[in-house]
Structures are given as structure tokens and as C-alpha cells.
Amino acid sequence: MAVSFESARDMILECVAVLPHEAVSLLDVVGRVLAEDIRAPWDMPRWNNSAMDGFAVRAEDCASGQPLTVDGYLPAGSSASGVTVRLGTAARIMTGPPRPLAAILQRSAVNSNGIPMPSVTCIRTTGLGKS
């Protein structure tokens, strides 16, 4: 007879004890588990970043359904300072950089067939900042 996951977990937990907390050097934490959550004093990263590889496009361009010329590239680790996605264009963007001004992102909403292309087409629209 099969035992449910919950029953199996309960049987195991009845046989083990919680280890005491201890403070250790950061160099000695490999293989250990935190005793409590750690909260960052600010959001990480500190900017509105690209959560995945894809294209930065403008919401109004997605509504038109017209092909967009790919004329920009933001690799991981780059800065979007001063970069704006112009009407009728898209920028290739990797995971991590800040989003360019006026851009929304959605890899799954842009048709590029997974290969470098001179243009992309939005296949569905999303709200501003959705990625």
C-alpha cells in the first residue's frame, strides 16, 4: 500500500530533531541552511530589469501588429541609461539590464522564431511593465 507524501513526511519528521542555530563565517556556509529568512533593505536589483532574454518594445507598437525594426541591443551587465526604444523599433535585450525608457518586455509576445532577425512582430499585447 502506498503512503501519501504528507504521511511519509510526518513519519520522517518524527524521527529527526531540529538542530540548534549557530553563527558561522560566510566562508563556512556551504552545505548549510538558513535558520531564518534574511530580508534585503531594498529591492534587488534596484532597477526595473529584464527578467528574461527577449525584446524591448513599446506598448503602442504592439497594438499596431506591424513589424518592428530591431535597432538596439542591451547585453547582460549593460546600462539602459539614455536608451529609449523609438516608435516602430525594438531592442534585443538579455536577462538583467534595466529596461529602456518607454519599453515593455515580453519574449513570448514577440515573434522572432528564436533566431536573429532584422525585425520582430508582437503577437499579443500586454500591459506596461509586464514581462
* Distance between start and end Cα atoms, the chain: 45
Range of the domain at 61: 54-122
Q: How many domains does the chain have?
A: 1
Nearest Cα to Cα of residue 123 among 73, 61, 49, 51: 61
Q: Are 97 and 49 in contact (CB under 8 A)?
A: yes
The pTM assigned to this predicted structure is 0.57
Encode pLDDT of 100-111 as tens digits: 776 665 554 455
Encode pLDDT of 55-112 as tens digits: 888 888 877 778 888 888 888 888 877 778 888 888 888 888 887 776 665 554 455 5
In a domain, 131, yes or no: no
In DSSP terms, 55 is beta-bridged to: 92
Q: What is the CATH number of the domain that holds 70?
A: 2.170.190.11
pLDDT above 90: percentage of residues in the chain: 21
In a domain, 20, yes or no: no
Task: Give the C-alpha separation, 77 to 8, whole Å.
Answer: 45
Greater confidence, 43 or 13? 13
Greater confidence, 108 or 14? 14
Query: Which range in 21-30, 51-60, 106-115 is most confidently predicted, on average pLDDT?
Result: 21-30
Give the pLDDT score at 125. Answer: 56
In a domain, 118, yes or no: yes
In a domain, 99, yes or no: yes
In a domain, 28, yes or no: no
In a domain, 43, yes or no: no
Nearest Cα to Cα of residue 46 among 97, 100, 85, 94: 97
In a domain, 106, yes or no: yes
Least confident of 7-16, 41-50, 115-124: 115-124
- Please state the φ and ψ torsions of residue 59, each to the nearest 5 degrees: -60, -40
- CA 113 to chain centroid: 20
